[in-house]
Every structure is written in C-alpha cells, then in structure tokens.
Amino acid sequence: MKRILVFAATLLLAAAGTAVAATPAQAAPPGCHYGAGHYEQAGNAISAYRYWFCDNGNDIPLSVNIQRYLSPGVYQTVASGNGDVTYWCTGTLYNVYRTTDTADFAILCS
C-alpha cells in the first residue's frame, strides 16, 4: 500500500511540474527588451521607470509605482503612473522605499 501511495504522489508531482513548466511567461514584443529602474536624489526626488524599449523607437510604457515602507509587509503607494513616475520629497527624514521592480532602498526623503 505504501508503495502505491508513493507512486501516486510521484505522478501528481510530475503532473504539477509539467503544468507549471508549460505556463508561458509574458514574452517581449518583437524587437523589444524590458527595462526598469529608479533614480534617487536625497531630499529632492525619487524617479522610477518601466518600459518595453523597442528597436523601432516606439517604446511601450508599463505601469510603475513608488511605495514607502510603513511596517513589515505594509507599503503606501506615494506615486504611480505609466512609463515614468516621480515622487517629490518634502523633507529629509530617513525612509525606505521600493519601486515596481526593485528591492527596498533607504534614502533621506519624506
């Protein structure tokens, strides 16, 4: 009986692995590559961008946001848009932020 259960579990895991592997990731439009990042200047501003950059010059803006860390697992969106977005600091208090595709980063910006 134990052998049958192990065999059945193996088949289920194999089927689940196949289903996950068969799910396609969002492919880049032809002639385009993905680009995202941010710039920061303490006490002044945080800017973020997110695009499909295309060889033909017709770049495709994607949704992007800037979020301020409030507590573990809790973030407040302070700016959002398509392609480019900027959050203008109103002070120089130490805070932690993140953008759509970046890890947390610390800056003097409030």
Q: What is the pLDDT of residues 76-93, one digit of tens each?
A: 999 999 999 999 999 999
Domain spans of the chain? 37-108
pTM (predicted TM-score) = 0.72
pLDDT digits (tens, 9 = 90+) for 54-67: 999 999 999 999 99
Rounded mean pLDDT of 42-55?
97
In the chain, the amino acid numbered 70 is L
